[in-house]
Homo-oligomer: A and B are copies of this chain.
Amino acid sequence: MNTLLIQHILLDGEPRDILIEGSRFKSIAPRLDTVAAHTIDGSGMAIVPPFYNTHTHAAMTSMRGYADDIELFAWLQNHIWPAEKHITPDDVYHFSRLAILEMIRTGTVFFNDMYWHALATVRAVEEMGVRAAIGRMFIESSPGVVTERNARENAALEALRPTLSGRIQLTFAPHAIYTVSGQTLRTISEEARAKDAFIHIHASETEAEVADCIKAHGMTPVAWLDACGMLTPKTILAHAIHLTTDDIARIRDCRCVIAHMPCSNFKLASGQFRFHEVAEQNGCCVTIGTDGCASNNNLSMLDEMKFAALSAKGEARLPTAAPAKMVFDCATRHGAEAFGIDAGVIAEGKLADALLIDLRYPLMAPCHNLISNLVYSADSSCIDTVICDGRVLMENKAIPSERDIIAAAQDACRSLFERLVR
């Protein structure tokens, strides 16, 4: 289906007609003398790239607000892990749909996921029309032995691969260096290279992880991942907070991608990512993620951009650090590029992923600088329409079956926590 967007304002401030044909932007011009099956009038609206969330655990929407303000280990041990034991594939399907609904509302069209029962997440993504990178997760029961449940799920995911739409790719997602042995990391690295697939791993999130790694292997987590062959331009390092100068150089030279999650880092008091030093002074590729809803507690890349831009200035004691345009690029273009998605900018020939922004909402007025308003002021109320792969997922703030998706997720959640109490 073709869609014609009439007189939407681009980031350069100019209004344009935009024709979407199939999944791509076909033509962008001051005026297009054409008709389309669907037309969206742009008076008072801007068109901007949407967000690409490079690290999350989507189905953890079920745990939004379930266990806050708790020390990290007690949080995992007493709250998160016991709940996760009871989660079924059906639960993951409903919680992933809730997550995707929230992502669409907050302007995100892609997420890089790591969670159990990934087939159910794949199903939710296919149905709801967004993009995702879904992890073959690895957690080991003992060194070199991936848990049985884990191996079974990965085999099922692999079997599904030939049938997936172009919006989904599979990654290798070993959880972390403290849950997966060096031996397994090396095997994963070889498989990933053979399949030309992405690797997605938590890295250098806490001081304890770094100290334990130095004790066990005589090197930092980043050096250890390098020794295991894990650092490639298709490797996403989630968090990467506690980095030495040598780690930063290694990440840059290997052209790895960092997924920066300021909200989660603050909430769990994991430490402050050094955005200015890592991204601005050393040129590492930094993208933005939200982490899961248990440690954020939402999936809004708008919140995440504001935290990234402001906390970088605070951390560096420098008001000029992390300017709005740079953070916006991290959350949009860099995220798409990192995953080889030919999108993230509004341009002819690119995949048609876009947000239509309501400029007549108080948070967007006045509009001295559209990107500044998006990074520092906007919230989901400002997002009118969401387009992914040429398909309109939300229009005029309406998403079909929103109420049903929320009700089903709430039912699944109630039932999960009833089983948990028993």
**Chain B residues whose C-beta falls within 8 Å of the C-beta of A266 in the assembled complex:** 310-311, 313-314
> Which of A267, A268, A318, A367 is packed against the most chain B CB atoms within 10 Å?
A267
Give the shortest distance, in Å, between A70 (CB) and chain B (any CB): 6
Q: Does chain B have a CB within 8 A of A192?
A: no
Q: Does A410 contact B (CB under 8 A)?
A: yes
A320 within 8 A of B: yes
Bits for A81-110, please: 1 = Cβ < 8 Å to B, else 0. Answer: 000000000000000001001100110000
CA of A106 to CA of B302, assembled, Å = 15
Residues of B within 8 A of A184 (CB): none
Binary contact track A402-422/B, C-beta < 8 Å → 1, others 0? 110010011001100000000
Determine if A71 is an interface residue (Cβ-Cβ < 8 Å). Answer: yes
Docked pose: A309 CA to B61 CA in angstroms: 20
Cβ-based interface call for A332 (8 A): no
> In the complex, are the beta carbons of B362 and A406 less than 8 A apart?
yes
Stretch of A218-226, A247-255, A369-377 lying at the B interface: A369-377
> Do the beta carbons of B365 and A71 come within 8 Å of each other?
no
**A324 in the interface (beta carbon within 8 A):** yes
Contacts of A379 in B (CB 8 A): 300, 302-303, 379-381
A206 to chain B, nearest CB (A): 11
Q: Would you give the shortest CB distance from A398 to chain B, in whole angstroms?
A: 13
Given contacts A71-B320, A269-B319, A314-B265, contact A297 B66 (CB under 8 A): no
The CA of A376 and the CA of B65, in the complex, are separated in Å by: 8
Do B377 and A297 touch across chains, with their CB atoms under 8 A apart?
yes
Is the CB–CB distance between A298 and B365 below 8 Å? no
Please give, as numbers and ranges, the residues of chain B lying within 8 Å of A265 by CB-CB distance.
Answer: 314
Return A195 CB to nearest CB of chain B, in Å: 34
**Would A65 and B368 count as touching, CB distance under 8 A?**
yes
Judged by a CB distance under 8 angstroms, whether A272 is at the interface is yes
In the complex, which of the residues A66, A323, A367, A377 has the most CB atoms of chain B within 10 Å of its own CB atom? A377
For residue A314, which residue of chain B has the nearest CB?
B266
A69 close to B (CB within 8 Å): yes
Chain B neighbourhood of A409, CB < 8 A: 365-366
